[in-house]
Structure 1
Amino acid sequence: MSVRWNQVDTPAEVEAPLGDLPAPAKPGLVRRWLWLVGLVVTAGVYVARRLIDNPSGELEMWLMLGLLGGLALTAVAALVRYRDDQRLAAETKAVEELRRDARSTTGSVTVSERPAGDDVMLRGLLTYPRGAETAEDTWSLLVADGDAPGPRPGDPVAVWWAPGTDTVVVRYHRGWADDVRGRTRR
């Protein structure tokens, strides 16, 4: 499951309609096309090896190492491209499903903190009703120094989910969480 955090500026924005979600970010050119560079280098080394008549043992070794290195680079870069394409397709599908059939509910979070320089890394478990079941997703959120504070353990959060997708959008504001806690205690 993928949890997208949306820290809002006012308590009223937490339960506002989800609105338009940003399209997923595409990987950079190097991540997308490094496999092609590796393939061209590998082909160039192979052609060089075939054109050299009777190479010395040392040159033969370096050409083979270059060929193996180029093949390794091509294979790893192709796997990175494949995984990036899978992630992009899943995130695009999730955004489309959330735009089309978003359902909202209230969930709660567990929180653990870890300092990360001047910032704080929050992580924990998000629990919310999803249809007839209760879903539990792990989450993490980097709260930069000067940003709005993140959730406290047990705080309520607004959760948007859509059937057929593993991505949820979570909205949070500390004032809203205090209001919800106050209403449920009465």
Structure 2
Amino acid sequence: MSVRWQQVPTASDVEAPLGELPAPRRPGWLRRWLWAPAVVATIGIYVTQRLVEDPSGELEMWLMLALLAGLMVTAVAALVRYRDDQRFAHESRSVEALRRDARATTGSVTVSERPVGDSVMLRGLLTYPRGDETAEDTWSLLVPDGADPGPRPHDPVAVWWAPGSDDVVARYHRGWADELRRRTG
């Protein structure tokens, strides 16, 4: 499960309709296409190895090491491309499911803080009703210095989830959380 945080500017924005979610970003050109030049270079080294007649032992060793290095770079680059494509497809399906059939509910969070430079890394557990069961998703949020403060332990948050999606959207504003606590407490 993946939690997408939206720190909204006003308390009234928390319960506003979900709206358009940003499409997942594709990785950069290098991550997507590094395997292609690695394959070409590896094939070039292999062809060179086959065309050289009666190579010295040292040249044969260097060509074999270059071939192995080319194969390793090709394999790693292809694996990175494969994993990136899987992640992109998964995120695209989740965004589409949220666009089609988002369901709103209220959840709560546990929070732990850790300073990171000029920011604070918040992490915890998001708990919310999901159909007939209670879902628990881990989350993290980097709050830059000077930004709106993140959630406090056991604060309520607005949660959107959809059947068939592993992603949820959690919206938070401290004023909204305080108002909800006053109304229900």
Superposed pair shares fold, TM > 0.5: yes
Q: Which residue of 1 aligns with 2:16?
A: 16
Paired residue total = 185
Q: Secondary structure at the match of 2:73?
A: helix
Q: Which residue of 1 aligns with 2:75?
A: 75
Task: For structure 2, list consecutive stretches of 5 or more residues without a partner in the other structure.
Answer: none
Q: Secondary structure at the match of 2:34?
A: helix
Q: Which residue of 2 aligns with 1:176?
A: 176
Q: Secondary structure at the match of 1:21?
A: coil
Q: Which residue of 2 aligns with 1:89?
A: 89
Query: After TM superposition, what 4+ stretches of structure 1 lie above 3 angstroms from structure 2?
Result: none
| Cα offset, 1:166, TM superposition | 0.4
Normalising to structure 2: TM-score of the pair?
Answer: 0.99
**Aligned counterparts of 2:175 and 2:68: Cα–Cα separation in 1:** 59
**Aligned counterparts of 2:10 and 2:65: Cα–Cα separation in 1:** 60
Q: Secondary structure at the match of 1:72?
A: helix
| Cα offset, 1:38, TM superposition | 1.2
| Cα offset, 1:41, TM superposition | 1.1
**Aligned counterparts of 1:37 and 1:112: Cα–Cα separation in 2:** 45
- Counterpart AA for 2:156: P
| Cα offset, 1:147, TM superposition | 1.1
Percent of aligned pairs with the same amino acid: 75
Q: Deviations over 1:54-108 (max 9, x none)?
A: 1111111111111111111111111111110011001111111111100000000
Q: Secondary structure at the match of 2:64?
A: helix
**Aligned counterparts of 1:8 and 1:80: Cα–Cα separation in 2:** 34
Q: Secondary structure at the match of 1:121?
A: strand
| Aligned alpha-carbon RMSD (Å) | 0.6
- Counterpart AA for 1:158: A
Q: Which residue of 1 aligns with 2:144?
A: 144
**Aligned counterparts of 2:151 and 2:28: Cα–Cα separation in 1:** 32
Q: Which residue of 2 aligns with 1:61?
A: 61
Q: Which residue of 1 aligns with 2:103?
A: 103
Q: Which residue of 2 aligns with 1:41?
A: 41
Q: Which residue of 1 aligns with 2:119?
A: 119
Q: Deviations over 1:14-37 (max 9, x none)?
A: 000000111001100000001112
| Cα offset, 1:10, TM superposition | 0.2
Verify: 1:156 aligned to 2:153, yes or no: no
Q: Secondary structure at the match of 1:26?
A: coil
Normalising to structure 1: TM-score of the pair?
Answer: 0.98
Q: Deviations over 1:96-134 (max 9, x none)?
A: 111110000000000011111111111110000000000
**Aligned counterparts of 2:169 and 2:125: Cα–Cα separation in 1:** 14
**Aligned counterparts of 1:76 and 1:8: Cα–Cα separation in 2:** 40
- Counterpart AA for 1:141: L
Q: Secondary structure at the match of 1:105?
A: strand
